[in-house]
Structures are given as C-alpha cells and as structure tokens.
Amino acid sequence: MAEIGIDINKAKSILEAGSLVAIPTETVYGLAGNAFDQKAVASIFEVKKRPSFDPLIVHTHSLDSVKELVKKIPTKALLLAERFWPGPLTILLPKKQVIPDLVTSGLDTVAIRIPQQSLTLELLKSLDFPLVAPSANPFGYVSPTSAQHVNKQLGEHIEYILDGGNCTVGLESTIVGFDDEAKATIYRLGGTSKEKIESIIGTVQVNDHSTSNPKAPGMLASHYSPGKKVILGSFEELEKIEKSSSTASITFSKPLKGIGISHTVVLAADGKLTTAAQNLFSALRELDKPSVKTILAERAPDHGLGLAINDRLKRAAAE
C-alpha cells in the first residue's frame, strides 16, 4: 500500500526522481508524473493498464507556463482560461515540441488544465516541469474522489498519495477544444457546466460520444464501469421496476421504496446538483460489492452539472 500524507516536499522529490505520485484535484485524484519524462509517462500507462491511444492531460500552475507548452491560444480559449482557471476545465491547444508525443498519443493538440486544489497547485508551483495526470483508477473503472479510493486500487504501484481529502467537485474536468478561432466544442462534459462556458463564449457544440469522437479517444461508451448491471431511468420509471435483495439504488434526492438501507444511496438530500456530483463516484464504488447485482440509477435533471452526471451514469450503464 502507498503512504498517504500531506508532505508536498516528499511528493516533489518522488516526482523529480521520475516516479509517480497520486495527487488530489478538485475534480478527481490524478496519477501524476513528470510530463517531460518519457519513462514516467510510460509508467503511468502501465500502472493504469491504459491503451496508448488515449492521451493524457498536462497540469500546470499559470497561464505563463501554459504559453511555454502550446503554440497559440485562440481568443475564446483565453477568455475561458481567464475565467475558469484554476478550475475544472481542460482546454485542447496546439502543442509545442516540448510535449512528448506519448503524452498526446501522437495528436498535435495537448490537453491542458490548471487545477484549483491548493496542495496540488502549490506542488505544481514548486516543480520546474508540468505533470501529466490521468484519473488515478485502473482504465475503465470509476474515478477516485478520495486518497483511500486510490490506495485501494493502485496503492501497490504508487509510493505516495498526497491527501487533499474528498474532492469538492467530484466529476472530471470539462474538455473544450477549438477547431478554429470561432468554433468551440465540448468533448467531455464535466465539472464546468456547458451553461457557464456559453455565458463567456456563446454557443458551444457538444460532441462527447467516443465512436464519433476521435478527438477524445478515452471517452469509451463503457467507461466508469462499477462492474454491475446499471439501469438508468426517471424516479417514476425506477419505482415500477421489481426489486430483489440484490437490487441497489442511486437516486437524486429521495430514496426508492423496497430497497434495503445498505443498498440505498441518495446523492443529494439537499437537492443540489453540486452535492450529487460530489457523491456520485463514491456511491458507485460503495455499491460495487458482492451483495449487489443491479443498480437502479435515477437520471439527474438535464441541465448544469446534471448533464455531466447523466453522461457518467450512461457510461456506467453501457454493457
């Protein structure tokens, strides 16, 4: 198992030596390594059992440092960066040579993000290289939102987990790209809502399906698999389904009748989408136990973070 702690200097020296550290971000925990070190990058793919066609996000600490990594920043991208960084937004930008091809799986764009979590931001400022960090879970599984989630699945492969407590957003960052100066596309719905993005740059298109979306190759239909049959529906639809002792439920604000308490998760007793987002991934993990065969999951309201929550539930439900 990995050591868990809050020692930024320890994390720094492990990363400088070319090894990996799990880091907290406001979205989910990441498995981090030196973005300029091919060996470190390769070991991330190995530990996650991630296919090499699925590129990584590069994390850094300031707009100035971003400019060292990319050839240019379109006007609208700059507007988004100024408004939402540090925060749960990733922007696809034309990469400079300093970024190894392994990081971008050969694409000529690199995904960049400045995270907000304070320990990680401080760590990034102390390093003289950026960090690549995919979510710190085995490929295809639910992303981790606590140090304990990381330790349980990847602990034996990592020396150190920097502990930032529970992630405050709980969903991965939103990924936005620009075909040209004018046209913005969301390739992954996430912690920064479509509405917030549109309030800054106007209408954006959403293109988040892997099959038609070679630009975000990691967005496979069956991602976020909790290893169970997941049935997605409205509260009323789920009420009509026959339950057994192996049925579990994840609902938005009130519990479903006919399901035992140990199989029942209500995501947001306060009715807030931000609370539901915070709790979603730990709920999927909690119900990934032998006594559960089927998870009935209530569709969230179709706006704001609800869109990203429903995206993850749909992927969890995909066979």
Interaction site with Mg ion (CB under 5 A)? 135
Nearer to ligand TXA, 16 or 54 (CB): 54
Least Cβ distance, residue 278 to ligand TXA (angstroms): 14
86 cis-preceded (ω within 30 degrees of 0): yes
Query: Does 167 interact with ligand TXA (rule: CB under 6 A)?
Result: no
List 215, 228, 299, 314, residue binding ligand TXA (CB under 6 A): 215
Nearer to Mg ion, 28 or 259 (CB): 28
List 113, 149, 314, 315, residue binding ligand TXA (CB under 6 A): 113
Nearer to ligand TXA, 101 or 239 (CB): 101
* β partners of residue 174: 89
Query: Does 92 interact with ligand TXA (rule: CB under 6 A)?
Result: yes
Nearer to ligand TXA, 148 or 253 (CB): 148
Tokens of 114: 């400045």
Q: Could you tell which of ligand TXA, Mg ion, none binds residue 170, using a CB distance below 5 to 8 A set by kind?
A: none
Query: Does 164 interact with ligand TXA (rule: CB under 6 A)?
Result: no
Nearer to Mg ion, 203 or 211 (CB): 211
Write out the residues near ligand TXA by the rule CB under 6 A: 25, 27-28, 30, 54-57, 90, 92, 104, 107, 109-111, 113, 115, 133-135, 172-173, 175, 187-188, 215-219
